Structure 1
Amino acid sequence: MRVRFILLLAAALLLTGCTGLSTIPENTPIERPWEEQYQALLAADSWQLRGKIGIRTASENHNASLFWDQLQQHYQIELSGPLGQGGARIDGNDEGITINIAGEEPLWAATPELLMEQTLGWQFPVRDLPYWIKGIPAPGHPYELSMNQQQPQKLIQNNWEINYLRFSNQNGYQLPQKLTISRNDLRLTIIAKEWQIPL
């Protein structure tokens, strides 16, 4: 039951051209201004991310491998490794979301927010996450953003704190390579090993 809870938590938190990562060395000048980066990343609605995810609560710490495939409004997310005990697959679009967990009956809901509310009893701004993971604020909500040399450092939005710890360079655009998303006793850490995003 505990593994199922952690899988549901990870699934809910993760909802909503090809170039590998190259870490930005310190003191490397940023080629593109923030406004240009923001507009390009905001418009990018199809991308893939491979990496790792960690979930830490007051009493537990879990990790898994992550594959996220976003194709406009359709997304497919796969979790595998220690956290998954066989893994989980999430498929969704504007018409609903399905979560398949190894050894469990599939779960479906009309929206990821509804699924989270039904299974976990609390909500998370699920639709903001695809923006946060790209290093930009979600549109339509107020936010506070701290910058350092054209790179976001800390974003506060919808009472969640997103810290950007490391970036990669793709065609002069900066994509998060490591970030944390936290609120109260919950912290989600995402490490991107490979981005595939047309920019």
Structure 2
Amino acid sequence: MSASIIAYKPNKLALFSAMAAAMVITSGCQSLKTANATSQPMTTIQAQNAEQPKKLESFNITGKIGVTTAANDSTGAQGGSAFYAWGQQNDRFAIELIGALGIGKTNIEYNGQTATLVSEKTGTLTADDPETLLKKATGWQAPISQMPYWVSGRPAPSDSAPKLDSQNRLVSSVNGDWSASFTYKGDEKLPSKISAVQPQGNKVVMTINH
């Protein structure tokens, strides 16, 4: 199963207006500037000693997500992509996906306890967590629960082996069998791209417009 997105560019106002009916979106992320410095990774111990987030931040982001699924006995590796708009408020979020692997416009909502997915092809599906829900509907695997922390440039509470650079920016982290790396534009404090991979071959690449 695959899909390709070529010309569509989401209308931010329309996407967030649609999501507003599901949840209240609060203040967005702001890119913070720091002095120019050569990026040198710090040790894992230094990163683990950094203050861990006590709660999720609220943000509005848009971008594109690409997913590659691992090959199995019957098929080779497959991939797809979608444009997204993501609104986060503490542990609640709403995501709208455009071009999600042939199932049409897709909305994923999570209220902190239950995840709901609605698409033109699948109808309404529910699950206890967004990862299970996404895999059930599309076959994609993605570390959705960790992404809100990673988008904010911080390790998730369940991460291990986080590493920071000399500007105190998260450059890599591990969560279960997901290994994530982070890319920044210039001296910006928030990541512009997150790449996460699993040993069996699943991969997620997420570009971020804060």
Larger RCO, structure (CA 8 Å, separation 6 or more): 1
In the TM superposition, what whole-angstrom CA distance separates every residue of 1:37-59 from its partner, at most 9, and x where no partner exists?
x7596545211111110111342
Select the residue among 146, 149, 152 that pairs with 1:128. Answer: 146
Q: How does 1:21-170 map onto structure 2 within 5 Å? A: 28-29=36-37, 43-58=55-70, 59-81=77-99, 83-84=101-102, 86-112=104-130, 115=133, 126-139=144-157, 141=158, 143-149=160-166, 150-167=168-185
- Tell me how large the CA RMSD over aligned residues is: 3.6
Between the aligned partners of 1:118 and 1:147, the Cα distance in structure 2 is 34
Q: Could you list the runs of 5+ residues in structure 1 that have no partner in the other structure?
A: 5-16
- Report if aligned partners of 2:141, 2:202 keep a CA contact under 8 Å in 1: no
In the TM superposition, what whole-angstrom CA distance separates every residue of 1:90-111 from its partner, at most 9, and x where no partner exists?
1121341110111222101233
TM superposition shift of 1:119: 6.4
With the length of structure 2 as denominator, give the TM-score of the two structures: 0.64
- Report if aligned partners of 2:52, 2:155 keep a CA contact under 8 Å in 1: no
Give the fraction of aligned pairs with identical amino acids, expressed as a percent: 24
Please state which structure has a larger fraction of its residues in strand: 1
Q: Which residue of 1 aligns with 2:202?
A: 186
With the length of structure 1 as denominator, give the TM-score of the two structures: 0.67
**Alignment coverage as a number of residue pairs:** 170
In the TM superposition, what whole-angstrom CA distance separates every residue of 1:56-92 from its partner, at most 9, and x where no partner exists?
1342221110111011232100110363552210112
Q: Secondary structure at the match of 1:137?
A: coil
Check 1:104–1:132 CA distance in 2 against 1; reply closer, same or farther (3 A cut): same
Between the aligned partners of 2:100 and 2:144, the Cα distance in structure 1 is 24
Between the aligned partners of 2:117 and 2:123, the Cα distance in structure 1 is 9
Check 1:142–1:101 CA distance in 2 against 1; reply closer, same or farther (3 A cut): closer
Please state which structure has a larger fraction of its residues in helix: 1
Between the aligned partners of 2:128 and 2:69, the Cα distance in structure 1 is 27
